[in-house]
Amino acid sequence: MDTPSPIDTYVSTPAGRLFARAWNVAPAADSAPIIMFHDSLGSVEQWRDFPAQIASATGRSVIAYDRLGFGKSDPNRDRLKPDFVQHEARSGLPFIREAFAIDRMILLGHSVGGGMAIACGATLPAQTEAVVTLAAQAFVEDRTVAGIEEARIAFRAEGQIDRLAKYHGDKARWVLDAWIETWLAPSFADWSLDTDLRQLCSPLLALHGDHDEYGSRAHPDRIAALAGGQANAVLLEDCHHMPHRERPDAVLALIGNFTRTL
């Protein structure tokens, strides 16, 4: 299938505008589009060509958006609260669905975005056809905390914040602090997706790298074990925290095969 050309738009919410990019294909009338949730430091631009590849591999339209405070979306004036993962089902997603007239949907997320995909699917079971996670964290693991601590030290080096400013502009410091301060806060230590997973009834595919520096295989195993619907966890060999960049062919094939079974 030819790669669709993206269409950019801004979606208004009470808290500010969200930037969204859509790759539209001409699927069957009953083919649910895929909505993508980026990671803690991510944005639409940082997905690179992966959304277009997903559209081609699945024959479905794809919508990716920058959460409030990220990328080209408006600044977020607040600190993230301990329930920010679950809150995305009530903040950003409803406005994206309304703007694109989406009823049924497939939710796909990377890292914390994978947690948001699960939480949103649990909140909107009738509208969620399936969920796909890439390197998602299901709870706060020691390895996750250690990886974030290492990243905090690394970002102190000269020029490192400029890497984020390339995508987030003058919001880069907020983006970095939102990730580090939220995940390392004592109030977040007991966070998990356990309740969301038990409430999730749609099919789920959890992909995870065997060398992921931000989470062991305990995450995909827990996701598959607790999910209320049919679930499959795949551990990708020789892969770290970016499966869609490190193992793109395998990831695209797995997601394509998964969506064809729905």
pLDDT band, very low/low/confident/very high, at 29 (cuts 50, 70, 90): low
Q: What is the pLDDT of residue 32?
A: 96
CA atoms within 13 A on the CB side of 8: 8
Q: Is the pLDDT of residue 26 over 80?
A: no
**177-203 pLDDT, tens per residue?**
999 999 999 999 999 999 999 999 999
Structure tokens at 65: 């958006």
How crowded is residue 75: how many other Cβ atoms within 10 Å of its Cβ?
A: 15
Residue with tokens 């990671």: 39
Packing angle between helix 142-154 and helix 172-184, nearest 10 degrees?
150
Q: Is the pLDDT of residue 57 over 80?
A: yes
Between CA 233 and CA 147 the distance in angstroms is 22
- In CATH terms, 6-260 corresponds, of 3.30.70.360, 3.90.25.10, 3.40.50.1820, 3.40.50.360, to 3.40.50.1820
* Domain residue ranges in the chain: 6-260
Q: What is the pLDDT of residue 129?
A: 98
Average pLDDT over every residue of 152-156: 94
**86-126 pLDDT, tens per residue?**
999 999 999 999 999 999 999 999 999 999 999 999 999 99
Q: What is the pLDDT of residue 2?
A: 67
Read off φ and ψ for residue 196, nearest 5 degrees: -60, -45
CA dihedral 152, 65, 17, 87 (to 10 degrees): -70
Q: What is the pLDDT of residue 42?
A: 98
**239-262 pLDDT, tens per residue?**
999 999 999 999 999 999 999 999
Q: What is the pLDDT of residue 25?
A: 83
In sequence order, the 6+-apart residues with CB closer than 8 A to the CB of 85 are: 112, 115, 116, 119, 191, 193
Structure tokens at 159: 């020029």
**219-243 pLDDT, tens per residue?**
999 999 999 999 999 999 999 999 9
The beta-strand segments (E) located in 77-216 are 105-110, 128-134, 204-209
Q: Is the pLDDT of residue 27 over 90?
A: no
| Bridge pairing between strands 34-37 and 62-65 | parallel
pLDDT band, very low/low/confident/very high, at 28 (cuts 50, 70, 90): low
Closest CA relative to residue 201, chosen from 166, 227, 219: 227
Q: Is the pLDDT of residue 207 over 90?
A: yes
Residue with tokens 């869609």: 244
